[in-house]
Amino acid sequence: FEPITVGIAIGAASALTGYLSYKDLYCRFAECCRSERPLNASALKQDLEEKLFGQHLATEVILKALTGFKNNKNPKKPLTLSLHGWAGTGKNFVSQIVAENLHPKGLKSNFVHLFVSTLHFPHEQHIKLYQDQLQRWIRGNVSACAGSVFIFDEMDKLHPGVIDAIKPFLDYYEQIDGVSYRKAIFIFLSNAGGDLITKTALDFWRAGRKREDIQLKDLEAVLSVGVFNNKHSGLWHSGLIDRNLIDYFIPFLPLEYRHVKMCVRAEMKARGSAIDEDIITRVAEEMTFFPKDEKIYSDKGCKTVQSRLDFY
Ligand SMILES: Nc1ncnc2c1ncn2[C@@H]1O[C@H](COP(=O)(O)OP(=O)(O)OP(=O)(O)O)[C@@H](O)[C@H]1O
């Protein structure tokens, strides 16, 4: 070997390792966008199976959708998930789990953005302004981190039309003005369709069939049509549904008495309290259940469980 070539090679190698370790070091202290980092599917599976109660469909679909999307080096469009169900059934909770599995800081990450309709887009007369702001915000953030996650809560309270402003970003374009949106993830949360989901769950219950036998096909089509035709869904006559830009409609089933008890137990565990079955039963019995005759489903899901537990 020629001494000069060896010198150059060593110099280049040390510069490279120096750079890599500098980057690693930097990322230890500051949050780095690592869109290419593979998803730890078994960690996500474990999180969903251990923490999310009574939602076999959501668990299965979210796991499949995210693993497929993250394993694909060249997705043709961003991933869009639309989560539907009654209050307190776990939609925000799941979004938090998903966010944490994609970016370790979860909802606190600079790459995870939560919009709440009533907070961020409250006035009907400013729709045009919201559309502009939303487009600018998404463009800026996806340019900074391709794997950005955007969560839209309370979609059912969003004025129809606002969300259509992001339609171009969700479509199959390779790039728009030099930015590719294909690695981003959009999650919409909504109560719209909750009544349809409950009806299906109730039909199964009344027919003596198991909750776990409800399949996605029993609900997905009903849900997308129902949401499209519901003036108060945030997706009323939306181009997102029209153009098939929503990849998955994910139903959240209403929670039963046994699930509420599981939530109380989990909350006690999280607080480091001793598990007291008597208190668990008392908290669960304080919740109200519907329909009037059968009293099967909690009308607030697991919401308010935490505050009720404070009484004991
Ligand atoms: N299926 C569930 N499994 C475990 N915990 C749950 C579940 N559903 C709700 N919880 C608990 O109840 C809390 C409130 O639920 P969450 O905010 O996810 O409801 P939501 O479906 O988003 O309701 P809303 O439509 O009113 O926003 C969660 O933080 C979680 O602790």
**pLDDT tens per residue, range 28-40:** 788 999 878 889 9
State the DSSP code for 47: H
| Pairwise CA distance, residues 97 & 84, whole Å | 16
Amino acid 310: pLDDT:
86
Token pair of 56 as six digits: 């076999």
Atom 27 of ligand 1, residue of closest alpha carbon: 87
Atom of ligand 1 lying closest to residue 190 CA = 25
User: CB within 8 A of 246, min separation 6: which ones?
Assistant: 80, 81, 82, 188, 224, 235, 240
Residue 40 DSSP SS3 = coil
State the DSSP code for 174: S
Token pair 């959501």 is at which residue? 58
Atom 11 of ligand 1, residue of closest alpha carbon: 302
CA 8–ligand 1 middle distance (angstroms): 58
Amino acid 237: pLDDT:
62
Does the beta carbon of 54 sit less than 6 angstroms from any atom of ligand 1?
Answer: yes
Token pair of 241 as six digits: 């549904």
Does the beta carbon of 59 sit less than 6 angstroms from any atom of ligand 1?
Answer: no
Atom 20 of ligand 1, residue of closest alpha carbon: 88
Atom 17 of ligand 1, residue of closest alpha carbon: 92
Residue 42 DSSP SS3 = helix
| Pairwise CA distance, residues 239 & 249, whole Å | 15
- Each of the 312 residues of the chain gets a pLDDT tens digit; together they read 565 665 566 556 555 555 556 767 778 788 999 878 889 999 999 999 999 999 999 999 999 999 999 999 999 999 999 999 999 999 999 999 999 999 999 999 999 999 998 899 889 889 999 999 999 999 999 999 999 999 999 888 888 788 888 888 888 888 888 889 999 999 999 988 888 899 999 999 999 999 999 999 989 888 877 776 777 766 666 666 677 788 999 999 999 999 999 999 999 999 999 999 999 999 999 999 999 989 999 999 999 998 888 887
Atom 7 of ligand 1, residue of closest alpha carbon: 90
Residues belonging to the chain = 312
**Which of 49, 95, 259, 303, when mutated, tests ligand 1's pocket best, judged by the most ligand atoms within 8 Å of its CB?**
303
| Pairwise CA distance, residues 108 & 224, whole Å | 31
Amino acid 8: pLDDT:
63
User: CB within 8 A of 24, min separation 6: which ones?
Assistant: none
| Pairwise CA distance, residues 148 & 142, whole Å | 6
- Contact 150/184 with Cβ under 8 angstroms? yes
CA 238–ligand 1 middle distance (angstroms): 26
Tell me the residue type at 59.
T
User: What burial letters (b/e) apply to 95-119, b meaning 16+ CB within 10 Å?
Assistant: bbbbbbbbbeebeebebbbbbebee
